[in-house]
Amino acid sequence: MNRPSPRGDTVRLGPWHQGFVYGVTAALVVSGIAWVVLHYFFARPGEYGPTIHPAEPWMLKLHGAAAMAGLIIYGSLLPVHIRRAWAIRRNIFLGIGLVLFMLALTVTGYLLYYAGDEETRPVISAVHWIIGLVVPAVLIWHVLSGRAQTRAVQKQALETHA
């Protein structure tokens, strides 16, 4: 839940909500990077082609579980956080960017799991993990920008009332 600010509108998440968003994001990023590293750098030649690292399937399972949790936690941002930010026109550009990146990750993840074939899977996979590598930087930018905007609004409100 968002905390109301005594000095202006805020869309900052409550501590538990923020913790879940950051925790799920960290699980997704770490498991995704681990899979990329294992898949591209630890495959070994085998009798019938490359042999995957034994931890690779576990990283995919962890990533899939975190993705399901992500759908819930990111979806929970819609009714309050995103709606309130949109209404007060706060951090719109980066917020829209994050939503679009998350939609792209959801679509490419779906395609990898349900629709990819041997020809399209490498392309979809590359698009998915490249976007996935960009998201943490955009999320950090979004958070820092939002906090800076909130401080500016609060400073302006203090100056106006002083």
pLDDT in tens, the chain (162 residues): 444 444 446 788 999 999 999 999 999 999 999 999 999 999 898 888 889 999 999 999 999 999 999 999 999 999 999 999 999 999 999 999 999 999 999 999 999 989 878 899 999 999 999 999 999 999 999 999 999 998 888 888 888 876
**Closest among 13, 14, 10, 2 to 157, alpha carbons compared:** 10
Q: Model-level pTM?
A: 0.86
Give the separation between CA 80 and CA 115, rounded to whole angstroms: 33
Note whether residue 155 is domain-resident.
Answer: yes
Structure tokens at 24: 């799920």
Give the separation between CA 134 and CA 128, rounded to whole angstroms: 10
Structure tokens at 90: 């706060």
Note whether residue 10 is domain-resident.
Answer: no
Alpha helix stretches (DSSP H) within the chain: 15-41, 56-75, 83-88, 92-110, 121-161
Residue type at 42? F
Residues 6+ apart with CB under 8 A from 24: 66, 69, 70, 73, 74
Note whether residue 114 is domain-resident.
Answer: yes
Residue 142 structural domain = 15-161
Cα dihedral sign for 53, 54, 57, 58? negative
The count of domains in the chain is 1
**Closest among 118, 119, 102, 98 to 110, alpha carbons compared:** 102
Note whether residue 2 is domain-resident.
Answer: no
Note whether residue 1 is domain-resident.
Answer: no
Q: Give the pLDDT confidence score for residue 158 in this predicted structure.
A: 87
- The three-state secondary structure class of 77 is coil
Q: Give the pLDDT confidence score for residue 5 in this predicted structure.
A: 44
